[in-house]
A and B are shown apart, each in its own frame.
Chain A
């Protein structure tokens, strides 16, 4: 089955530690995205990548980093510089170059809690 997987589902980290969230897709999509979700604020874009080895900052990139070495993988690192990292993180992918198929497909999410 095609889809997006995120791991782990729940993640706990101590203050001052970096942590990496995994996102893998087997949809052959070119574009991938990371969002942060907080109650009452909807989804805010952290980083996005339109092709392999290229990515751009979204609206709230400070304290986060990403890489896109493979088409199917787009890991997100939450660094110790992120002031308030406790949130629900969603990964998505899309094929924006295909007419009629621009929608984003979402993974199940990772809930990060800083202790």
Chain B
């Protein structure tokens, strides 16, 4: 069975500083990987996804993530954050044979301050 661990429950960061959100997964088969963002009282919005190919994936709003198969990780990064990046971020994994069923991490709350 698949599982996802987001290593930080909350990450405080200053505006224009870089941020990294860590995500590790466990699975016995090949996986697809995703990062979503959630603003307060809203649904989730897809930031980026890894399906195959290049391990460095670029997404919306300047975010990127790198798939590391040997370390079973999919960390999310942004070189310079804005106040508007304050939100909760979720990592998700879907096994390639699971017909679209996802497992989500517990989430990382990012708080950007001036």
Residues of A whose CB lies within 8 Å of any CB of B are 4, 31, 33, 35, 40-45, 48, 50, 88, 90, 92, 94, 96, 100, 102-109, 111
Contact = CB atoms under 8 A, between A and B. Distances in A.
B100 A96 contact: yes
Interface string B1-37: 0000010010000000000000000000000101010
Given A42-B90, A42-B104, A111 B44 contact: no
Given A40-B9, A109-B43, A45 B101 contact: yes
Interface of B: 6, 9, 32, 34, 36, 41-46, 49, 51, 90, 94, 99-102, 104-107
A43 B99 contact: no
Contacts of B51: 100, 102
Contacts of A105: 46
Contacts of A48: 101
Contact of A42 (B32, B42, B105): B105
Nearest to A109: B43
A106 B106 contact: no
B106 A96 contact: no
A40 B106 contact: yes
Given A40-B9, A42-B106, 8 more contacts: A43-B44, A92-B44, A94-B100, A104-B44, A106-B36, A108-B42, A108-B43, A109-B42
B45 A106 contact: yes
Contact of B100 (A40, A104, A108, A111): A104
A41 B102 CA distance: 15
User: Quick one: which of B42, B51, B102 has the most chain A CB within 10 A?
Assistant: B102
B34 A50 contact: no
Interface centre among A94, A103, A105 (most CB of B within 10 A): A103
A10 B107 CA distance: 23
A51 B40 CA distance: 31
Given A42-B105, A106-B44, A108-B43, A31 B90 contact: no
